[in-house]
Structure 1
């Protein structure tokens, strides 16, 4: 009986840890995609590929 309880607890802990790691990976992918989309949008709006603009003196 104790073996089934321990097996259930370890399976639940493994599932929790797996979902925890997967959620961080998914959040990282989402934020990376948003970052790339913002860079592409900024380059399309400005029309330049230069990261810095020259300032008029």
Structure 2
């Protein structure tokens, strides 16, 4: 796992935790937006972290 991918996962965890803590502490449903954005970031990190299909190029 490279640096930018680690940063994306760290950002995902941070945003989701901030959303959960904010929602629990304040009771405002607005913090659900943070959770959704964190999950979208997780999907993006997962998609970029996958390897593509290997091509069979006979030499």
Question: In terms of Rg, which structure is larger?
Answer: 1
Q: Report the TM-score, using the length of structure 1 for normalisation.
A: 0.46
Q: Which has the higher contact order (CA 8 A, sep 6+)?
A: 2
Q: Report the TM-score, using the length of structure 2 for normalisation.
A: 0.45
